[in-house]
A and B are shown apart, each in its own frame.
Chain A
Amino acid sequence: MKAKLAALPMSYRLAVTSRVLAAVFGGYLVAALASVTLTLWLPLNRAEAVVTGMTVSFLVYLVAVLWCFACRTAWSAWVGLLVPSVILATVSGAARGLGLA
């Protein structure tokens, strides 16, 4: 961080804020959806599946957060979270539809 705080352009600050929001909220959403998907699809009884889903979710959150800051632009942070979210939501819905839940 060589530039002094005052010299940072507004576009940079907006980009960082965007990534942070994506990481915190978007990341949480992906992690939650991943836990739900796991819970619905794992061939375990209800309580065991829930415990497994929750335990693993934080690893997903980690990856999501790292993605938000590693990707090239702030936009790709959001896209990179949206796509898995849609996929996971669909897969969970499918489990429900197939009567697995």
Chain B
Amino acid sequence: MKEGFRQAMAWLHTWTGLVFGWLLFAIFLTGTLAYFKDEINHWMQPEIPSRPLDAAASLTLAQTYLQQRAPDAPSWQITLPDARDPGISVSWQQAPARPGERGRFTEKILDAQTGAEVPVRKSFGGEFFYRFHFQLQMPYPWGRWLATSAAMVMFIALITGIITHKKIFKDFFTFRPRKGQRSWLDGHNAVGVLVLPFHLMITYSSLVIFMAMVMPASLLVSYGSDRSAFYDEVFPEAPTPERAGIPATLPAMAPLLARASEQLGGGNVARVTVINPGDANASVQVARASSDRITYEYGNDVTFNGVSGQILDATPAKPLPMAIAGSFYGLHIGHFAGPVLRWLYFICGLAGTAMIGTGLVIWLGKRQLKHAKTGVMPFELRLVEVLNIASMAGLIGAVAAFFWANRLLPLSLDGRANWEVNTFFIAWTLSLVHALLRPGRKAWVEQLTLAALLFTTVPLLNALTTAHHLGVTLAQKDWALAGFDLTCLAAGLLLAWAAWKMQRAAHTVRVEKTRRETTRPITLEQGTR
């Protein structure tokens, strides 16, 4: 610490990177997958058919269904299908068992063309990755606290990385493969520096998203214990009139869509909520589609009296600080992204994941060199090695196992959705055990090979277990389903290549050990002196 600013920052970068690297790798990987959570949902619940989009028709079908199934429910919620989410989602609150309590929510998916219920297999789908990346499968609120703390450490690691990288401009375009540790560092720097705007945005925005939870001091000072007053001011919602007790049939809501769209400046509607349907004071709240603008908007945008069609209120425009915070949120989740931009988000997310992964490999690689001669690794390094393998190769394998479970678990299995998630964690745990039992190199190769196998055969698995295989989906232009199969295939091939390279590097090390240690082969990953 007395050695100078840059060295101190380098020290901080190294240790924050290591201690939180494994967790951050998991957060980044699952978060990156979450950019395609709708597509993952679609693949994992292929029973929901994709139909041409017609908001008014979908709304009418939903209304008809809800009128039949839940005419007396205190509230209905209808999520209209969009380009990435093919089904109509309807949910309603059942009358509470006791007054003052909240009733149970029931959700069903409807076919966007026929309005019939779709018998869909129970699965968390892509939502699992989405929720995991900020809740970490831990009880509320601990998971979020840990994830947000990790985000703060990530922020420190990014800034200290920038400070430490002396030749950040000189080495901007530098990447020298096939040079052992040097290449890993070049790679780490490349995916770090070239994608820096994304990394800084994603990290800072994740802090802003949970800022009211982790940094509440100013909130408490200004509002005392009345937190809800704060939220009412930040996310103003039109007050909905009380139940009148006078029954009245709800007229067709479809015409309200056009009027709402007008109010929203030509925007699209994503969600319609009906409070007290069947009552004279029924209100219809119409929420804007997130794809319309960058700022993520909560709350409802236009509220109508359901029976008369009169506009009760419209959410006002956001003041600047809220718009900025909302923009951070919106940029983070990227709901507004079209297909090309969404792929770019995905690539940037993978780059971030790779940045963390290469960092962990470098951390160990540098220190392993000192013990290469003795061939015995001290406990601390062995621990890092095991955690590296399990948290990276093991996690990737667990993702594949999750998809496999979706296709192999019986459709009628009780708690099937939870069992898919259990499979994920069981696979991840097994990878840890495997990494403990096997020597480092071999563990890497074996786990990468297994993951490669599981991913490349996903399209085959899909073809054998459902009718929605590539032959069908490509012909129907169902890009989400086809894209999923093809991306898994590509991922599998990439993993196979990685496994092969690891295997080759291991060979060269073994051969090298029998010769006298004088030459400097460049194929070596380790052992370069």
Query: Which chain A residues have a beta carbon within 8 Å of chain B's beta carbons?
Result: 1, 4-5, 15, 19, 31-33, 35-36, 38-40, 44-55, 57-58, 61-62, 65-66, 69-70, 72-73, 92, 101
Contact = CB atoms under 8 A, between A and B. Distances in A.
9 nearest CB pairs, A to B: A47-B233, A32-B217, A39-B218, A53-B218, A54-B211, A51-B321, A35-B218, A52-B321, A48-B321
B218 A70 contact: no
A81 B387 CA distance: 35
B319 A101 contact: no
B321 A55 contact: yes
Contacts of A50: 218-219, 222-223, 230
B522 interface: no
B326 to A, nearest CB: 10
B150 to A, nearest CB: 13
B321 A36 contact: no
Contacts, number: 101
Given A35-B215, A51-B321, A69 B1 contact: yes
21 contacts: A1-B11, A5-B378, A15-B1, A19-B1, A32-B217, A35-B217, A36-B217, A36-B218, A38-B218, A39-B218, A40-B221, A45-B233, A47-B322, A49-B218, A50-B230, A51-B234, A57-B211, A58-B152, A58-B208, A66-B9, A92-B221
Contacts of B156: 62, 65-66
Given A54-B212, A70-B5, A62 B222 contact: no
A58 B208 CA distance: 9
Given A58-B152, A58-B155, A58-B215, A66 B160 contact: yes
Contacts of A53: 218
Nearest to B160: A66
Contacts of A58: 152, 155, 204, 207-208, 211, 215
Nearest to A57: B215
Given A15-B1, A38-B218, A50-B223, 6 more contacts: A1-B14, A4-B378, A33-B217, A47-B230, A55-B321, A58-B208
A48 B222 CA distance: 11
Interface string B185-219: 00000000000000000001001100110011111
Nearest to A68: B12
Contacts of A38: 218
Interface in B1-24: 1-2, 5, 8-9, 11-12, 14
Contacts of B8: 69-70
Contacts of A33: 217
A54 B218 contact: yes
B171 to A, nearest CB: 23
A69 B217 contact: no
B56 to A, nearest CB: 36
Contacts of B14: 1
A35 B207 CA distance: 14
A36 B215 contact: no
Given A15-B1, A36-B221, A62-B156, A47 B9 contact: no
B463 interface: no
Nearest to A65: B156
Contact of B9 (A36, A57, A69): A69
A55 B9 contact: no
B325 interface: yes
B159 interface: yes
A48 B215 contact: no
Nearest to A60: B215
B324 interface: yes
Contact of B208 (A45, A55, A62, A73): A55
B2 A72 contact: yes
Contacts of A49: 218, 222, 321
A66 B319 CA distance: 32
Contacts of A62: 155-156, 159
Contacts of A73: 1
Contacts of A48: 319-322
A64 B160 CA distance: 13
A39 B223 contact: no
B414 interface: no
B138 to A, nearest CB: 20
Contacts of A66: 9, 12, 156, 159-160
A65 B367 CA distance: 26
Contact of A32 (B11, B215, B233): B215
Contacts of B208: 54-55, 58
Interface hub of B5, B221, B320 (most chain A Cβ within 10 A): B221
Nearest to B208: A55
A51 B380 contact: no
A55 to B, nearest CB: 6
Interface in B68-94: none
Interface hub of B215, B234, B319 (most chain A Cβ within 10 A): B215
